[in-house]
C-alpha cells in the first residue's frame, strides 16, 4: 500500500523536484498539494505549483493555495528570500514550463488539509511540508483533531548544527518561526529533515550526467533547474553543487533507511536575540524532556539519487 501524503510547498527548484519525486515514486500516493508563501510571494509559488504539477502529470488531485503571510511577524523580504537570489524572480526561474492544466481548488490550503485528514482513517495521511509552516499551523489551530489523526509530519526545515539565513536559523523555520514552534511542539511526531541532512543531497557532476542521459523533456527541465539553482547556490552560498533539500523529506517517507533519523527533543526558539528561529535539538536528554521528535542525520547518497532518477523516468512516460 503506497503511503498517502499531502505536500505543502513554496516552489522553489527543490520543491519542484520534491513534487516530481512524490508523483513518480510507487511507494507514495500524492493525495494533494498546497502552496505557501516562502521562496516567493504566494501568487508566484501557487502558479509554480500548478505548472510543476502539470509538468509531472499530477493533474487529478486537489491543489489549494494557502497563507500569504506568516502568522505573527512580517514577511522576510530581503534578497535571500522573496524576489530572492536562489530561486529567481519567478520563484522557479530557468526553463519554460507548461501553463496550468487544472483549476486551483477553491478551499484554503489549511481547509483542504483538514478535509482530507478528517475524512480519512486515523494514520492515513502524512504531511510533508517543504516551505514555511504557516499552513500547517493554521490547520492545527482550525481543527486540533488533525494532530492525532495525521500519521506524522515529515518536514524539510531547520538544522541542528547551522542555519542558512542566520548562523542559528534555516530559511523555512525563520520565515515563520511562530508557526514552526506550534508545529514542533504539538503532540504529533515531527521528523525534521534539516540542513545537516539535505546538504548531503548534492547534485554532483556525475549525478547531473546521469540525469542528462535520461534524455526526455522532463529530464531536460530538471537539468535546467539544477543549472539555475546550482549557479546561484555557488555564488551565494559557496557550495559547488546544489543540495536538493525538499526532495529529502519525500525520500524519508519512502525509506527510513535512505534518510536515517534519530530521536531527540526538538523545539523552536522564538525569543532569542541571536538565535531566533533556531531548531534547538537535544539528542542527549540534557533538558530532561521527552524525545518528542526525530532529526534526520544520515543520507544514503546513491539510493537517494536512484529514487530521483527513477522518478524522472516514471513521470517522463506518463
Ligand atoms: C531557501 C531555500 C533554499 C535555498 C536557500 N538559500 C533559501 C528553500 C528551499 O526550497 C528549502 O525548502 C529550504 N528553503 C532550504 O532552506
Ligand atoms: Ca521549499
Domain hosting 91: range is 3-317
- Predicted pLDDT of residue 80: 53
What local confidence, expressed as pLDDT, does residue 79 receive? 47
Q: From the CA of 170, how far away is ligand 1's center (Å)?
A: 8
Ligand 1 geometric centre to CA of 241 (Å) = 14
What is the sign, positive or negative, of the torsion defined by CA atoms of 297, 300, 301, 307?
negative
How far is CA 188 from its chain centroid? 18
Cα–Cα distance between 77 and 251 in angstroms, integer?
30
pTM: 0.98
Measured from the alpha carbon of residue 36, the closest ligand is 2
172 lines ligand 1 (CB under 6 A): yes
Ligand at minimal distance from the CA of 197 is: 1
Cα–Cα distance, 154 to 39 (Å, whole number): 19
In the chain, how many domains are there? Answer: 1
**CA dihedral angle for residue 186, residue 112, residue 59, residue 253, rounded to 10 degrees:** 20
Which ligand is nearest the CA of 245, by number? 1
> What CATH number is attached to the domain comprising 271?
3.90.245.10
CB of 164 within 6 A of ligand 1: the answer is: yes
**Is residue 108 among the annotated active site residues?**
no
Q: Considering 87, 108, 199, 245, which one is annotated as catalytic? A: 245
> Distance from the CA of 172 to the center of ligand 1, in angstroms?
7
Q: What is the 249 CA–ligand 1 centroid distance (Å)? A: 13
- Cα–Cα distance measured from residue 229 to residue 245, given in angstroms and rounded to the nearest whole number: 12
How would you write the pLDDT of the chain (318 residues) with one tens digit per residue?
Answer: 999 999 999 999 999 999 999 999 999 999 999 999 999 999 999 999 999 999 999 999 999 999 999 999 999 876 455 546 788 899 999 999 999 999 999 999 999 999 999 999 999 999 999 999 999 999 999 999 999 999 999 999 999 999 999 999 999 999 999 999 999 999 999 999 999 999 999 999 999 999 999 999 999 999 999 999 888 887 777 789 999 999 999 999 999 999 999 999 999 999 999 999 999 999 999 999 999 999 999 999 999 999 999 999 999 997
* Position in ligand 1 atom list of the atom nearest CA 172: 14
Amino acid at each position: 500500500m503506497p503511503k498517502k501524503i499531502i505536500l505543502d510547498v513554496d516552489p522553489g527548484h527543490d520543491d519542484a523536484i520534491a513534487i516530481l519525486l512524490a508523483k513518480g515514486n510507487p511507494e507514495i500516493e500524492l493525495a494533494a498539494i498546497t502552496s505557501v508563501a516562502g521562496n516567493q510571494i504566494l501568487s508566484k509559488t501557487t502558479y509554480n505549483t500548478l505548472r510543476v504539477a502539470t509538468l509531472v502529470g499530477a493533474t487529478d488531485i486537489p491543489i489549494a493555495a494557502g497563507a500569504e503571510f506568516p502568522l505573527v511577524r512580517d514577511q522576510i523580504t530581503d534578497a535571500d528570500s522573496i524576489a530572492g537570489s536562489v530561486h529567481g524572480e519567478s520563484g522557479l526561474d530557468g526553463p519554460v514550463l507548461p501553463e496550468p492544466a487544472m483549476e486551483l481548488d477553491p478551499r484554503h490550503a489549511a481547509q483542504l488539509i483538514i478535509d482530507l485528514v478528517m475524512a480519512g482513517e486515523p494514520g492515513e495521511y502524512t504531511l510533508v511540508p517543504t516551505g514555511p509552516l504557516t499552513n500547517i499551523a493554521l490547520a492545527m489551530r482550525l481543527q486540533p483533531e488533525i494532530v492525532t489523526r495525521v500519521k506524522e509530519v515529515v518536514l524539510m526545515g531547520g538544522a541542528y548544527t547551522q542555519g542558512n539565513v542566520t548562523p542559528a536559523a534555516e530559511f523555512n523555520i525563520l520565515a515563520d518561526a511562530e508557526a514552526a514552534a506550534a508545529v514542533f511542539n504539538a503532540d504529533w511526531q515531527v521528523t525534521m529533515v534539516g540542513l545537516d541532512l539535505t546538504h548531503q543531497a548534492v547534485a554532483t557532476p556525475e549525478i547531473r550526467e546521469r540525469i542528462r542521459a535520461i534524455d526526455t523533456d522532463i529530464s531536460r527541465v530538471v537539468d535546467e533547474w539544477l543549472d539555475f539553482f546550482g549557479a546561484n547556490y555557488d555564488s551565494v552560498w559557496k557550495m559547488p553543487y546544489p543540495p536538493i533539500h525538499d526532495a529529502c523529506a519525500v525520500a524519508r517517507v519512502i525509506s527510513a533507511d535512505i534518510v536515517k533519523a534519530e530521536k531527540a527533543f526538538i523545539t523552536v526558539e522564538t525569543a532569542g536575540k541571536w538565535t531566533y528561529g533556531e531548531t534547538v535539538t537535544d539528542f542527549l536528554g540534557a533538558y530532561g524532556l521527552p524525545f518528542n521528535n526525530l532529526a534526520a542525520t544520515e543520507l544514503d547518497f546513491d539510493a537517494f539519487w536512484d529514487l530521483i532518477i527513477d522518478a524522472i523516468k516514471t513521470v517522463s512516460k506518463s
